[in-house]
């Protein structure tokens, strides 16, 4: 017998009721949408009528001819009323009060307070002559202004194509700082130019051209500078650093390759890629946290090697001390292979830090795990070590160099104190700049120089972690030596 059961997929009464409910809901939504369209059209019509009425009223008040209501209104010019001019004459000029000035009859409203800066000119105004050198944050070339024939230096900023932020902060800081500086011992920024195709990828600084950098001169000189010439260079360096520090600027990469020297004996501080403004507290340290990964390794202060995040002008003065020693020997004073080796060379020259010579150094991040020899093992002072390394330097010179290379940042002199040091008042006096020797300009002939010297640390890199370094054997065998001025005698 066949089954007469109804299929489970057949339409039931509930399905029919559900479909009817959906149809009614859809009709209600369509009715609401239609009413909204009608209401919107009504409001637009009323607004258009109000605009036409206002246009007619304005045309009547201004004694102008009737215009078509569909024609868009022109922007009205702001003109002063006669009584406004009389009131301005009585109360002073609006510019003096910092207000908006009323434009004269028939002119547009204008704002006081300065105009927009001129747009950057094209680099095509300059003819490239030759490359000079390449640094960590850009390459430098010699160029000539096609209009005036003046020779300048073009520094192209290195931009990361993968960096979506655009111009790096180092480049922006360098432009800002150089535009704010005007000193005879600081390189001059003439203008900023861009390329024609992709300006964001081709930004160049137009700097005054200086014939030499101090590093190249020291490498090519057969004999070191005379004592009077060293004083001339140091005095100019201290003057430039004093100007920067007086304007709350830290250079943070002072080294001989960043010091330029022209053929008139004038020294100029250059390469502000790592410089920045700071705010110092009463102790000379920064009030904000800064990165410790600054300054080229051979000129980096010990507090930076130990991971200090708060530092001030003393880091630049340590670099000045390293440059002082390099001027005397024509070689970098502390040529460390890495951070640990650099710290070992510093301790070898300046002594092992103690709580007496450098209070609070143990609180620095990288100093907590250091194993140092007992303080009694090495009693020689920094001045005695420097006297043994530089036997021809006067007592005042040794004192100045020892103070600049003091482990404790608070004991280093400021740039102004350095200029008042007795070393510059003793004979031989500093040689006049006009009498300074001249050298062939390598920047005018060579294509590009690549030196076997470390570069400035890259921004955003990781600060070296010294870890558990053992410095206990750094002065091994020193007890068997007798030191004198300029020689070491080992007792047999």
Q: Does 92 have pLDDT greater than 80? A: no
Of residues 355 and 286, the one with the higher pLDDT is: 355
Q: What angle do CA 281, 287, 288 make, to 5 degrees?
A: 165
| pLDDT at residue 319 tops 90 | yes
Q: Is the dihedral of CA 276, 281, 287, 290 positive or negative?
A: positive
Determine the distance from the C-alpha atom of residue 390 to the mean position of all C-alpha atoms in its chain, rounded to a whole number: 35
DSSP type of residue 142:
E
* Residues 385, 97: Cα–Cα separation, whole Å: 64
Beta-bridged to residue 153, according to DSSP, are 142, 207
435 vs 160, which has greater pLDDT?
435
- 436/447 Cα distance (integer angstroms): 27
Q: For the residues 238-242, what does the mean pLDDT come to?
A: 96
Most confident of 6-15, 55-64, 214-223: 214-223
Does the pLDDT at position 137 exceed 70? Answer: no
Give me the catalytic one of 145, 201, 253, 408. Answer: 253
Q: Which of 60-64, 159-163, 323-327 has the lowest mean pLDDT?
A: 60-64
Collapsing DSSP states into helix, strand and coil, what is residue 465?
coil
Active site residue 163: no
Q: Is the pLDDT of residue 283 over 70?
A: no
Does residue 112 register a pLDDT over 80?
Answer: no
- Is this prediction's pTM over 0.85? no
Residue range 271-298: mean pLDDT, rounded: 83
Question: For residue 421, what pLDDT is reported?
Answer: 95
Residue ranges, CATH 3.30.200.20, the chain: 121-207
257 DSSP 8-state letter: G
List the single range of 40-54, 230-244, 433-447 with lowest mean pLDDT. 433-447
Residue 177 has pLDDT above 50, yes or no: yes
CA quadruple 222, 260, 286, 298: dihedral sign = negative
Residues of the chain with CATH 1.10.510.10: 212-459
For residue 146, the number of C-alpha atoms closer than 13 Å in the C-beta half-sphere is 7
pLDDT above 70: residue 284: no
pLDDT for 73 = 55
Q: Regarding predicted confidence, which is higher, 96 or 227?
A: 227
pLDDT at site 141: 86
* pLDDT at residue 10 in the model: 57
CATH class belonging to 121-207: alpha beta
pLDDT digits (tens, 9 = 90+) for 371-429: 877 765 555 678 888 888 898 899 999 999 999 999 999 999 999 999 999 999 999 99
Q: What are the angstrom distances between the C-alpha of 80 and each of 3, 76, 88, 108, 109?
A: 100, 13, 11, 11, 10
**Residue 156: both structure tokens together:** 């192209």
Which residue is listed with tokens 């500093």? Answer: 430
CA dihedral (110, 112, 114, 116) in degrees, to 10, reads -30
pLDDT at position 49, please? 87
CATH class of the domain comprising 212-459: mainly alpha
Q: Looking at residue 98, what is its pLDDT?
A: 45
What DSSP line would sit under 67-90, residue for residue?
--TTSPPPPPPP---HHHHHHHHH
Q: Give helix 395-404 / helix 382-389 axis angle, nearest 10°.
A: 120
Q: What is the mean pLDDT of residues 279-297?
A: 79
Structure tokens at 478: 């020193």
Give the CA distances from residue 252 to residues 156, 255, 393, 405, in Å, rounded to whole numbers and listed in that order: 20, 10, 27, 16
Residue 95: half-sphere exposure toward Cβ, Cα within 13 Å: 6
Task: Give the chain's largest Cα–Cα span.
Answer: 134
- Over pLDDT 90: what percentage of the chain? 33
What is the spatial distance between Cα 365 and Cα 440, in angstroms, rounded to a whole number?
A: 47
- What's the confidence (pLDDT) of residue 169? 81
So what's the pLDDT on residue 232? Answer: 95
- 81 vs 458, residue with greater confidence: 458
Q: Is the pLDDT of residue 38 over 70?
A: yes
250 pLDDT tier (thresholds 50, 70, 90): very high
């Amino acid at each position: 017998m066949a089954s007469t059961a109804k299929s489970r997929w057949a339409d039931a009464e509930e399905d029919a009721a559900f479909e009817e409910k959906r149809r009614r809901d859809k009709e209600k939504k369509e009715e609401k949408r239609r009413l909204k369209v009608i209401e919107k059209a009504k409001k637009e019509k009323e607004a258009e009528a109000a605009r036409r009425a206002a246009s007619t009223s304005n045309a009547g008040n201004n004694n102008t001819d009737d215009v078509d209501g569909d024609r868009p209104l022109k922007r009205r010019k702001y003109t002063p009323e006669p009584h406004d001019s009389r009131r301005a004459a009585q109360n002073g000029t609006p510019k003096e009060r910092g207000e908006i000035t009323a434009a004269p009859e028939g002119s547009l409203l204008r704002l006081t307070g300065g105009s927009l800066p001129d747009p950057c000119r094209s680099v095509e105004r300059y003819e490239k002559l030759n490359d000079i050198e390449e640094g960590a944050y850009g390459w430098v070339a010699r160029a000539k202004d096609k209009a005036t024939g003046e020779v300048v230096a073009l520094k192209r900023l290195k931009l990361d194509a993968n960096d979506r932020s655009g111009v790096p902060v180092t480049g922006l800081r360098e432009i800002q700082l150089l535009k704010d500086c005007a000193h005879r011992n600081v390189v001059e920024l003439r203008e900023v130019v861009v390329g024609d195709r992709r300006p964001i990828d081709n930004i160049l600084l137009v700097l005054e051209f200086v014939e030499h950098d101090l590093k190249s001169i020291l490498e090519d000189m057969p004999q070191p500078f005379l004592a009077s010439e060293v004083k001339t260079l140091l005095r100019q360096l201290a003057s430039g650093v004093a100007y920067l520090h007086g304007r709350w600027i830290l250079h943070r990469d002072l080294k001989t390759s960043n010091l330029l020297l022209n053929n008139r004996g004038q020294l100029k501080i250059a390469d502000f890629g790592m410089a920045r403004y700071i705010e110092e507290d009463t102790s000379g340290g920064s009030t904000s946290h800064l990165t410790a990964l600054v300054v080229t390794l051979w000129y980096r202060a010990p507090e930076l090697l130990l991971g200090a995040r708060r530092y001030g002008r003393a880091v630049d003065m340590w670099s000045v001390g390293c440059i002082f020693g390099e001027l005397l020997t024509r070689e970098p004073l502390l040529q460390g292979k890495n951070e640990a080796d650099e710290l070992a060379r510093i301790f070898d020259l300046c002594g092992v830090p103690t709580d007496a010579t450098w209070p609070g150094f143990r609180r620095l991040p990288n100093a907590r795990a250091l194993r140092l020899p007992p303080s009694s093992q090495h009693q020689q002072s920094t001045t005695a070590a420097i006297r043994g390394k530089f036997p021809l330097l006067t007592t005042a010179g040794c004192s100045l160099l020892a103070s600049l290379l003091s482990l404790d940042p608070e004991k280093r002199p400021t740039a102004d104190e350095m200029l008042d040091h007795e070393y510059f008042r003793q004979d031989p006096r500093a040689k006049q700049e006009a009498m300074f020797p001249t050298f062939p300009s390598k920047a005018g002939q060579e294509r590009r120089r690549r030196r076997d010297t470390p570069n400035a640390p890259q921004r955003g890199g990781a600060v070296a972690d010294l870890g558990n370094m053992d410095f206990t054997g750094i002065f091994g065998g020193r007890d068997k030596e007798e030191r004198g001025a300029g020689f070491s005698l080992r007792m047999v």
